[in-house]
C-alpha cells in the first residue's frame, strides 16, 4: 500500500513539474505485473509560453509508462493556436506522447485524419506527428490540402504553424479552381 501511495505522489509531482494539466482526474493503478504505471481518464496536456497557450492535447484515456517517458492515448483531440490567431484542430483515434519532450503522434483507425484550420483550409492524412521543439506538424505519408480555390496532394507534409508555412513534397499535384 505504501508503494502505491508513493507511486501516486511521484506521478503527481512529475505532472506538476512537467506542466501537465488534468481535469476530472480519474486514476487507475495496474495490478502488479501490469505494463502501464498509471492509467488516467480525461488526460490533458497544455503547452504554453509566457502565459499564452500554444497547444492543448486531450485524451479520453491515457496509459503512462514512466520509465519509457511516454503515454499511450485513446480518442485524442488537439488544438494548436498560432501567434496570428489561426486555430488548428484535429482528432485521432489513438496516439502516443513523449512525456519529456511533448512530441506526439496521432492516427485514425479508419479514414483520414482531418486537420482543420480556422482560415478555411483542411489537411487530410492517415497519421501525423507534432515535433514540439521545432513546433512543426509532420505527415510522412499521403497528404491532401484543400482550401478556398485550391487542392494540393503530396507524399509528405510539413506545417510550421508559428510562421504559417506549409511544405508539400514528393509527387506533388496542385489544382487551382
Neighbouring CB atoms inside 10 A of 159's CB total 24
**Is 152 or 9 the better-scoring residue by pLDDT?**
152
**CB-side neighbour CA atoms (13 Å) of 17:** 9
Please tell me the predicted confidence (pLDDT) of residue 162.
87
Q: Quick one: cell of 114?
A: 482531418
CA-nearest of 151, 90, 154 to 117 is 90
Neighbouring CB atoms inside 10 A of 149's CB total 8
Please give the DSSP secondary-structure letter assigned to residue 34. Answer: -
Backbone angles phi, psi at 91, to 5 degrees: -130, 140
SS3 per residue for 122-168: EEEECEEEEECCCCEEEEEEEEEEEECCEEEEEEEEEEECCCCEEEE
Confidence class for position 51, pLDDT limits 50, 70, 90: confident
What does the pLDDT look like over 52-98, one tens digit per residue? 889 999 999 999 999 889 999 999 999 999 888 889 999 999 999 99
Averaged pLDDT, 1-23 = 40
pTM for the structure as a whole: 0.75
Please tell me the predicted confidence (pLDDT) of residue 14.
44
Domains of the chain with bracketed CATH: 2-176 (2.60.450.10)
Confidence class for position 18, pLDDT limits 50, 70, 90: very low
**Is 24 or 99 the better-scoring residue by pLDDT?**
99
With 70 as the cut, is the pLDDT of residue 34 above it?
Answer: no
Please give the DSSP secondary-structure letter assigned to residue 67. Answer: T
Give percent of the chain above pLDDT 70.
81
Amino acid at each position: 500500500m505504501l508503494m502505491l501511495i508513493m507511486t501516486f505522489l511521484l506521478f503527481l509531482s512529475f505532472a506538476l513539474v512537467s506542466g501537465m494539466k488534468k481535469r476530472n482526474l480519474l486514476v487507475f493503478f495496474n495490478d502488479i505485473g501490469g505494463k502501464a504505471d498509471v492509467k488516467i481518464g480525461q488526460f490533458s496536456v497544455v503547452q504554453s509560453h509566457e502565459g499564452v497557450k500554444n497547444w492543448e492535447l486531450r485524451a479520453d484515456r491515457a496509459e503512462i509508462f514512466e520509465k519509457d517517458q511516454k503515454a499511450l492515448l485513446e480518442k485524442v483531440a488537439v488544438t494548436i493556436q498560432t501567434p496570428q490567431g489561426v486555430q488548428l484542430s484535429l482528432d485521432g483515434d489513438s496516439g502516443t506522447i513523449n512525456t519529456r519532450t511533448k512530441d506526439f503522434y496521432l492516427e485514425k483507425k479508419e479514414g483520414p485524419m482531418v486537420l482543420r484550420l480556422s482560415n478555411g483550409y483542411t489537411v487530410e492524412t492517415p497519421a501525423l506527428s507534432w515535433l514540439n521543439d521545432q513546433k512543426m506538424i509532420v505527415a510522412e505519408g499521403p497528404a491532401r490540402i484543400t482550401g478556398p480555390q485550391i487542392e494540393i496532394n503530396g507524399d509528405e507534409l510539413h506545417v510550421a504553424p508559428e510562421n504559417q508555412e506549409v511544405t508539400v513534397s514528393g509527387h506533388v499535384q496542385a489544382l487551382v479552381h
